[in-house]
Structure 1
Amino acid sequence: MSLFPLIAQPNTGELLSASGMPLYREVDWNFQTNKPVWRGGAPVIVTGARAVLVWAWNALHTTRFAHDVFSTDYGLDGEQLLGQAYTEDVRQSEAIRIVRETLRINPYITNVSQVSVSFEGSVLHLGFKLTTIYGEVTIDDCDIAL
């Protein structure tokens, strides 16, 4: 019996990636509305690089240590950037470091590059390129309220 009986469980099968890890699956995400994608009354399941990108988006939008349901490695610890007497260069450098640390815990992500950050008050604007075991994906416009 499923915890959510109205949502069918996806067929997990025995699909493995070239690295020997299971095929990554995630509920698709609309980055403009910041909500999951539903079709026909059920969430849309994506796999591969798109699924890893959805995981990255959600990890960056989750405050680290704020929810007991997540491990202590999951989420963005961006609050440490607020209220500090950092110069703008140091603040941006720290933001890039924190974003990379947040994303690199996922074993499906092999590299985080081209990270660009800027601040507008307590909102972090960022873009980045992820190299996953499935290929490269990018986010050009991601706003995170710290």
Structure 2
Amino acid sequence: MADNNFFPFIGTESDYIPETNNELPLYREFAWDFAKDDFIKDNSGDFKIVEGKEALQVWIYHALHTNRYEHEIFSWDYGTELITLVGQRFTKGLTESEAFRYIKEALLVNEYLLSVKKNSIVFDGDVLHIDITVKTVYGEVRLVV
């Protein structure tokens, strides 16, 4: 009786790799009023929920406004390290380049976000002005902060 498998106790690759569902669920988030920097509530006083591209815009906004490693409630992957640029004596070009790198690193941890394009990132004194376009699974989102 000939067995073609020299190691019958070792399975094939497909025996060890779990099946995964590559479809992401619809992204949902609490609605955010960017002008007031506060939640949006519906007529009944409950928090409004947004989905898809609009929900990702809320996530992006919060990720960029959160300092990484500062809040125990968030994972170490969440937020930016932009605060580390404060007080550095880098050239303007290097500072803006590092700011974009930090922004890109902060956003691409989200599996719904595919790429980040810099429209402009400028320091005006101590204020960082960001204009980016983020390609998401739902289309493009532009954020100007």
Fold match, TM over 0.5?
yes
Kept after mapping to 2: 8 A contact 1:96/1:116: no
For 1:61-100, what aligned pairs fall within 5 Å after superposition?
61-100=65-104
The alignment status of 1:139 with 2:130, answered yes or no, reads no
Q: Residue 36 of structure 1: CA displacement?
A: 1.2
Partner of 1:126: 130
Aligned equivalents of 1:111, 1:34: Cα separation in 2: 25
TM-score normalised by length of structure 1: 0.80
Structure 2 runs not aligned, ≥5 long:
1-21
Deviation above 6 Å: which 4+ runs of structure 1? none
CA RMSD in angstroms comes to 1.5
Can you list the C-alpha shifts for 1:40-62, whole angstroms capped at 9, x where unaligned? 20111000011111100001011
* Unmatched tracts of structure 1, length 5 or more: 1-18
Q: Counterpart of 1:10?
A: none
The residue type equivalent to 2:71 in the other structure is: H
CA distance in 2: counterparts of 1:47 and 1:137, whole angstroms: 13
Q: Is 1:21 equivalent to 2:32 in the alignment?
A: no
**Higher Rg:** 2
Tell me the amino acid that sits aligned with residue 25 of structure 1.
R
Q: How many residues align?
A: 124
**1:59 and 1:74 in contact (8 A); partners too:** yes
Whose strand fraction is larger, Structure 1's or Structure 2's? 1
Give me the identity figure in percent.
Answer: 40
Distance 1:131 1:85 in 2: 32
